[in-house]
Chain A
């Protein structure tokens, strides 16, 4: 007991020492002589003319002080100020806006907070276009030697915009010691772009060979300029070999860019399809398994979306994880509502699908008005957590937004979960038994009424979960469900009633076809085409892609 206490104590002591040491380091750095010159050089910026600033920036860059990069970045972003009281130069935390009154200062030497200061007491150190370009290159040069590969990559990219002799030399130096393959490739692209403007034929051909593997728009533009013809029909590029190589390279780059944009369209289609699948699989259960036309399905999704909103309001300090809490909450809320609907209305209407359609439509009106009465008809904003926003850049021609990616993953998880419930659990077994042969299932001792309630609750719960996803995609308002109900019915009917896989395949293919048509026809027309195609498809194959088979299908 006491031993462990001792050890704990020792750990704490160690931690404290470590923290103290960290705190002490800038303090001793302050006394180094180069800091004094650094501060002095910074001070010169205050009253310098633009031409002088040019020189000062060079001087700063040469000084080799560890904070040069931070200071120059601040200057480039208009965040470098001098204080009128004591003529000291400071970095401010955020650039001043229209109605900022105080700014948080950062000491340029220690990079620690130096407290706030009123705007009136501060004087911005201005830049002009020329200086900003100089800063950009200087920063890029700094960035090339950064220990962080991502920073080096950015630096290599920005340096490509300004390929003068010194930068080319710099790239040549850095590429020799570069270890990261992506950064290296980016540098090689930059060098190749520079070499294209040279006069050595072999170097230019090599450069084109290097550039073939790039898929960037800038590279394509550059290559295209080599094969372009001027107004009188003569080629802008006189060297035929280079021209031919460039033409081949243009073809190759265009080819790959088309390929990647195809991949992107496919992905967009899959993510749209995922939304369709998500909104449809709950219905695939209530409609497909139970034969109930649940027009309130959309409203159950709306309840899920509002649950997300309520959960988010209930835990204001945890916006990042509130959506994770919302998923089970939405499942329970919508599922409970589903069971309520089933027990109070639908159980009297089994075997009469058209009547369930009318009754549940009534329920949908009531639910809509209920939500309108409680939350008003205004849009409610559901915050997208940070980890769900942003873009995943796979390469220069292909980027994927995280929220689309998460939708696809989420759909796959929900779908798999549903399959597991239906195939691997006792309740799933009973659901399947009742849907296949109710009388026999009852004879085997299955409480069919309870199973009905559970089945409907499951379908409704999944609608609620879909609502959580929809809250991230559209406005959360009482009409949210209405706009999706027809889509979800079309998916289920297209896929084949009673077939979960049918809904999956159906929804995904609808999404992909929609995205394929969109560039040619526009969003609305694409949707109309898909609807018409589906209507025609159902005319040809009334039972959908995967028609139900066996005894259960005879009742349909």
Chain B
């Protein structure tokens, strides 16, 4: 009860939260109406493609939020977040592949098409259980969480920090990408999973299911936001921010820095996994290129553009950059890479607090503690 009260208070105090949840609610109400109720001939009609696109953006927003949680609040710049996203996606994909059943091209009741094609005789052991939806849902959270736990346990205990952590997370996702590209792994090689038929018996290609998935994604995003918000405004959240700003000092004050980092990292990886699981049924494909290091770095730029250290900023950044990407790549594809590149450079140089920092001129707290540390105050800054 008390916890809810705090949450409500913090939501009231922080107008950003209100705006964010309001906008999200608007999206998940208006977009379905525009798809289902508005006739296809109308200019306001949103096609299935449009639905998928919005759903994709929302998944990306959730992914961006998971990065912001560890980067913006704990100072852990993971360049391997896409790995957790993809693992969640693969877990969902495995369920969807099993769900196809005998309707595949080869008609094998148990083995997915690619296994028949690759001459598998029996189902590999790690595919067992994925015919149950509940099992797949557990795996969506468990697999990324376990990887993050093992990886983080080693990394944080050995005090691998900063750039080093970024580089090894990048190596991790790169290694996973190479591994998933192999046909022998039992994950479909470079084709990955596709041609999904339905989910829990509902046809994935029908607009109603698409709308449902979109709304579900929106709700999950909103709920995740509230949970993240709760975490960062709790006592533990303060410690996590203290770790970001002065890790050694926090440790000397007696906090177990490693444990805090580890749990926030695991939680963030689970969020990323859920985002991936929501992404796959809407997009209809998952393949190893989702693991590619560039994807993880792109997520980081969404967060940087939106404004790190503000959860809704990260989500807004993801929506904005991805909308821009869709727009540019369809109109002037050449320009997109220039624009994205320039975005990286300009945001880093001129907008250390992102667009949110630009918009919310009326920050109540001084930037020093609320946002990301202002560069000039960093002690490492060389004297010029």
Measured CB to CB, the closest approach of chain A to B306, in angstroms, equals 13
Identify the 5 closest CB pairs spanning chains A and B, nearest first.
A362-B344, A365-B341, A369-B337, A366-B341, A351-B380
Of residues 455 through 491 on chain A, the ones whose CB sits less than 8 Å from some CB of chain B are: 482, 486, 489-490
CA distance A352 to B162 in the complex (A): 10
A61 contacts chain B at the CB level, 8 A cutoff? no
Contact of B341 among A364, A528, A535 (CB under 8 A): A364
At the interface with chain B, which of A167-175, A270-278, A537-545?
Answer: A537-545
Q: Given A486-B171, A490-B171, are A353 and B158 neighbors across the interface (CB < 8 Å)?
A: no
Report A-chain residues with C-beta under 8 Å of the C-beta of B34. Answer: none
Report A-chain residues with C-beta under 8 Å of the C-beta of B48. Answer: none
Measured CB to CB, the closest approach of chain A to B293, in angstroms, equals 6
At the interface with chain A, which of B55-63, B100-108, B175-183?
Answer: B175-183
Report B-chain residues with C-beta under 8 Å of the C-beta of A391. Answer: none
Of residues 336 through 357 on chain A, the ones whose CB sits less than 8 Å from some CB of chain B are: 345, 348-355, 357
Q: Are A538 and B168 in contact (CB under 8 A)?
A: yes
At the interface with chain A, which of B16-24, B249-257, B297-305?
Answer: B297-305
Measured CB to CB, the closest approach of chain A to B97, in angstroms, equals 23
Report B-chain residues with C-beta under 8 Å of the C-beta of A489. Answer: 167, 170-171
CA distance A442 to B384 in the complex (A): 9
Chain B interface residue number, banded: 35 or more
A421 contacts chain B at the CB level, 8 A cutoff? no
B314 contacts chain A at the CB level, 8 A cutoff? no
Q: Are A359 and B344 in contact (CB under 8 A)?
A: yes
A449 contacts chain B at the CB level, 8 A cutoff? yes
Report B-chain residues with C-beta under 8 Å of the C-beta of A352. Answer: 375, 378, 380-381
Q: Are B158 and A527 in contact (CB under 8 A)?
A: no
CA distance A278 to B166 in the complex (A): 22
Contact of A366 among B155, B159, B342 (CB under 8 A): B342
Of residues 242 through 272 on chain B, the ones whose CB sits less than 8 Å from some CB of chain A are: none
A525 contacts chain B at the CB level, 8 A cutoff? yes
Report A-chain residues with C-beta under 8 Å of the C-beta of B154. Answer: 536, 539
Measured CB to CB, the closest approach of chain B to A431, in angstroms, equals 14
CA distance A364 to B171 in the complex (A): 18
Q: Are B167 and A349 in contact (CB under 8 A)?
A: no
Contact of B337 among A365, A532, A538 (CB under 8 A): A365
Q: Given A352-B378, A535-B172, are A490 and B167 neighbors across the interface (CB < 8 Å)?
A: yes
15 other A-B residue contacts (CB within 8 Å) besides A528-B179, A534-B171: A293-B163, A293-B166, A345-B345, A351-B378, A355-B375, A362-B348, A365-B338, A369-B334, A372-B337, A438-B382, A442-B383, A525-B179, A531-B174, A538-B168, A539-B155
Q: Are A493 and B167 in contact (CB under 8 A)?
A: yes
Measured CB to CB, the closest approach of chain B to A118, in angstroms, equals 52
A373 contacts chain B at the CB level, 8 A cutoff? yes
Residues of B within 8 A of A (CB): 77, 151, 154-155, 158-164, 166-168, 170-172, 174-175, 178-179, 181-182, 293-294, 297, 300-301, 304, 334, 337-338, 340-345, 347-349, 352, 375, 378, 380-384
* A349, A351, A362, A442 — most chain B CB neighbours (10 Å): A362
Report A-chain residues with C-beta under 8 Å of the C-beta of B170. Answer: 486, 489
A555 contacts chain B at the CB level, 8 A cutoff? yes
A256 contacts chain B at the CB level, 8 A cutoff? no
CA distance A538 to B342 in the complex (A): 33
Q: Given A449-B384, A539-B158, are A362 and B294 neighbors across the interface (CB < 8 Å)?
A: no
Measured CB to CB, the closest approach of chain B to A538, in angstroms, equals 5
Measured CB to CB, the closest approach of chain A to B189, in angstroms, equals 11
Q: Given A348-B349, A359-B345, A438-B382, are A539 and B160 neighbors across the interface (CB < 8 Å)?
A: yes
A410 contacts chain B at the CB level, 8 A cutoff? no
Report B-chain residues with C-beta under 8 Å of the C-beta of A361. Answer: 297, 301, 344
CA distance A351 to B373 in the complex (A): 13
Report A-chain residues with C-beta under 8 Å of the C-beta of B179. Answer: 524-525, 528
Report B-chain residues with C-beta under 8 Å of the C-beta of A514. Answer: none
Q: Are A358 and B300 in contact (CB under 8 A)?
A: yes
Q: Are A354 and B181 in contact (CB under 8 A)?
A: no
Measured CB to CB, the closest approach of chain B to A546, in angstroms, equals 15
A to B CB contacts below 8 Å, 18 in the list: A293-B166, A345-B349, A349-B349, A352-B378, A355-B375, A357-B163, A363-B341, A366-B337, A366-B338, A366-B341, A366-B342, A372-B334, A524-B181, A531-B172, A534-B168, A535-B171, A538-B164, A542-B159
CA distance A531 to B293 in the complex (A): 14
Q: Are B77 and A354 in contact (CB under 8 A)?
A: yes
A312 contacts chain B at the CB level, 8 A cutoff? no
CA distance A357 to B383 in the complex (A): 21
A263 contacts chain B at the CB level, 8 A cutoff? no
Measured CB to CB, the closest approach of chain B to A212, in angstroms, equals 42
CA distance A439 to B301 in the complex (A): 33
A368 contacts chain B at the CB level, 8 A cutoff? yes
CA distance A364 to B375 in the complex (A): 23
